[in-house]
Amino acid sequence: MLEPVTVAPGNPQILKPDAIEFIVALDREFGARRVELLERRRRRRSAGTPVLDFRADTAHVRADPDWRVAAPGPGLADRRVEITGPPERKMTINALNSGAQVWMADFEDALSPTWDNIVEGQQNLVDALDGTISWTAPDGRRYELGDTLPTVMVRPRGWHLPERHVRIGGRCVSGSLFDAGMYLFHCARRQIDRGSGPYFYLPKLEDHREARLWNDVFVFAQEWLGIPRGTIRATVLIETLPAAFQMEEILYELREHSAGLNAGRWDYLFSMIKNRPDVVLPYRGDVTMTTPFMRAYTELLVSTCHRRGAHAIGGMAAAVPSRDPQQRRHALATVRQDKRREVGDGFDGSWVAHPGLVETCREVFDQWLRDEPNQVVRRRDDVRVTAADLLADRFGDVVVAEAEVRANAEVAVRYVAAWLDGRGAVALNGLMEDAATAEISRAQLWQWARHGTPMTNGLRVDLPLVRECLEDAAAAEPANPRFAQARALLTEMVSATTLTDFLTLPAYARHLS
């Protein structure tokens, strides 16, 4: 007998019966494999700190020089500027009018997955593709779509996140399958009809078998929806340390649906702490893209992609332009420098978090690419990256300032409070903060306290200090209950003996569902 399906109330245009039937079919077909793969992740981490290396059992995939990924889908050859952001109504219109080549509509790092945000995000995508989306601000400003729209890519939630508002026999469906499934159901045809396709960004993969699962989901979905096999395309974010050892395998698994790889630098840094808890890192602001282990990772990403005919897309420079002219100049200069490094290294395009950065990124890529849509043909066979280069074995002693402990506590509290309030990305101190950057802050607090990391004032970081910093950060808004909830969640996480897998998991279970 089939288990009963329950769906929380919400927009009936999106949650219509045949759309839910598709989500349920996806979950019945792939839910158990997802759980198995998550269990595999858990086993790997609980086995201690396994030494990560390139896999022996897939060496034949890396050694075979002949395979390539599919040619780019329509609208995916030139991706020099990609803007990202949550599919909130006003931001959807602003992103689509931003002049970028691609808009990545984000249900992951930049979205707080309240049920309203999730369902309305899907409606906004439908309205955007129909050209009917508009919005009037409280001050009367009117928002409408311009004439030229970018290619749209959607980033569903990672495999770890459940969607608690749709249950099959009491168990939650996967957030990934819900987001990707709903988008495919409502928008795949719409995208094909406008000469594009249903395209995805796939976050937080840790293993090539997780890429295989996505590929199988795509094959199943294309058949179910009656659209040609290979119409779906996906760029995988390489943003975990284990995935950095399997870039070729991930491309290989998805080769008929692949649209390259992206360097998800912020989650990657978080993953470094998660997978190497005993390698103490300095303050997040001091670990840059030229830090050797970060450089090794991006160099390997570009050379892997270009060897396989795939796009390599750069990451997010976190500086956002402010209204203050001096800070604005600083933000633009930081972003320009970051994009120059990327294009020089061979990246084919890159991310910006704000419409005010599109022009800067474009100028840098235009100058380098000129009339070419990308530089995929530029092989980086000079790149030699070893496991030791990726593993950050040679980091050295770390001393932090108490101000850096406080800065991490402030970002973590403020971000989690915003997230609990339904906002998944915020600007704090001139930087874009989202789930990935906040994970770094709270993981650093945990790591520094656990290791009694020395401070410049001669003392060491310990749990009482970290707790005090969290309390002080929460005291900034004593009347806001979200700040107290954020402090409580973070205090629990920094006090745990092992690093909590994702802050969004307990936060979601306790407060958003």
Ligand X SMILES: CC(=O)SCCNC(=O)CCNC(=O)[C@H](O)C(C)(C)COP(=O)(O)OP(=O)(O)OC[C@H]1O[C@@H](n2cnc3c(N)ncnc32)[C@H](O)[C@@H]1OP(=O)(O)O
Q: State how far Cα 291 lies from the chain centre.
A: 21
* Kind of pairing between the strands at 5-7 and 134-136: unpaired
Neighbours of 417 (CB within 10 A): 25
Q: Using CB positions, name the residue nearest to ligand X.
A: 85
Indicate whether 266 belongs to the interface with ligand X (CB under 6 A). yes
Binding ligand X (rule: CB under 6 A), the pick from 26, 243, 353, 416 is 353
Binding ligand O=CC(=O)O (rule: CB under 6 A), the pick from 208, 257, 265, 274 is 265
| Inter-axis angle of helices 402-420 and 435-451, nearest 10 | 140
Binding ligand X (rule: CB under 6 A), the pick from 409, 426, 443, 461 is 426
Tell me the per-residue interface mask from 88 to 117 with ligand O=CC(=O)O, x by CB under 6 A, - otherwise: ---------------------x--------
CA distance 505 to 235: 24
Indicate whether 436 belongs to the interface with ligand X (CB under 6 A). yes
Binding ligand X (rule: CB under 6 A), the pick from 187, 254, 317, 320 is 320
Give the burial string for 274-301 (b: 16+ CB within 10 Å, else e). bbbbebbbbbbeebebebebbbbbbbbb
Q: Which stretch binds ligand O=CC(=O)O (CB under 6 A): 37-45, 50-58, 133-141, 258-266?
A: 258-266
Torsion over CA of 241, 31, 57 and 65, rounded to 10 degrees? -80
Contacts of 123 (CB under 8 A, 6+ apart): 11, 13, 14
CB 161 within 8 A of CB 112: no
Chain residues that interact with Mg ion, rule: CB under 5 A: 109, 239, 264, 267, 436
Indicate whether 95 belongs to the interface with ligand X (CB under 6 A). yes
Query: What element of type H or E holds 316?
Result: strand 312-316
Indicate whether 152 belongs to the interface with ligand X (CB under 6 A). no
CA distance 214 to 237: 13
Indicate whether 83 belongs to the interface with ligand X (CB under 6 A). yes
Indicate whether 181 belongs to the interface with ligand O=CC(=O)O (CB under 6 A). no
Q: CB nearer to ligand X: give 252 or 502.
A: 502
Instruction: Identify the three-state secondary structure at position 467.
Output: helix
Number of residues that bind ligand X (CB under 6 A): 22
CA distance 189 to 227: 8
Query: What element of type H or E holds 315?
Result: strand 312-316
CB 259 within 8 A of CB 218: no
DSSP string, 182-195: HHHHHHHHHHHHTT
Indicate whether 318 belongs to the interface with ligand O=CC(=O)O (CB under 6 A). no
CA distance 68 to 258: 10
Instruction: Return the one option of ligand O=CC(=O)O, ligand X, Mg ion, none that residue 254 interacts with (CB less than 5 to 8 A, by type).
Output: none
Q: How far is the CB of 108 from ligand O=CC(=O)O (least distance, A)?
A: 7
CA distance 40 to 99: 42
Tokens of 453: 């990391």
Contacts of 308 (CB under 8 A, 6+ apart): 67, 68, 69, 248, 251, 252, 255
Distances (CA, A) of 431 to 107, 321, 330: 20, 9, 12
Q: How far is the CB of 435 from ligand O=CC(=O)O (least distance, A)?
A: 8
Which of these is catalytic: 45, 80, 155, 450? Answer: 155
Instruction: Return the one option of ligand O=CC(=O)O, Mg ion, ligand X, none that residue 95 interacts with (CB less than 5 to 8 A, by type).
Output: ligand X
Tell me the per-residue interface mask from 287 to 316 with ligand X, x by CB under 6 A, - otherwise: -----------------------------x
Q: CB nearer to ligand X: give 110 or 254.
A: 110
Which of these is catalytic: 434, 442, 482, 487? Answer: 434
Instruction: Return the one option of ligand O=CC(=O)O, ligand X, Mg ion, none that residue 427 interacts with (CB less than 5 to 8 A, by type).
Output: ligand X
Indicate whether 315 belongs to the interface with ligand O=CC(=O)O (CB under 6 A). yes
CB 58 within 8 A of CB 246: yes
Bridge partner residues of 5 (DSSP): 168
Indicate whether 150 belongs to the interface with ligand O=CC(=O)O (CB under 6 A). no
CA distance 126 to 141: 22
Torsion over CA of 454, 458, 462 and 465, rounded to 10 degrees? -130
Q: How far is the CB of 266 from ligand O=CC(=O)O (least distance, A)?
A: 3
Instruction: Give catalytic status of residue 434 as yes or no.
Output: yes
Instruction: Return the one option of ligand O=CC(=O)O, ligand X, Mg ion, none that residue 110 interacts with (CB less than 5 to 8 A, by type).
Output: ligand X
Instruction: Give catalytic status of residue 207 as yes or no.
Output: no
Binding ligand O=CC(=O)O (rule: CB under 6 A), the pick from 24, 237, 331, 411 is 237
Q: CB nearer to ligand O=CC(=O)O: give 207 or 267.
A: 267
Tell me the per-residue interface mask from 418 to 437 with ligand O=CC(=O)O, x by CB under 6 A, - otherwise: ------------------x-
Q: How far is the CB of 228 from ligand O=CC(=O)O (least distance, A)?
A: 29
Indicate whether 264 belongs to the interface with ligand O=CC(=O)O (CB under 6 A). yes
Give the burial string for 211-221 (b: 16+ CB within 10 Å, else e). bbbbbebbeeb
Q: Given the rule CB under 6 A, which residues bind ligand O=CC(=O)O?
A: 109, 237, 239, 264-267, 315-316, 436
Q: Given the rule CB under 6 A, which residues bind ligand X?
A: 83-85, 90-91, 94-95, 106, 109-110, 266, 316, 320, 353-355, 425-427, 432, 434, 436
Catalytic residue numbers, as ranges: 155, 434
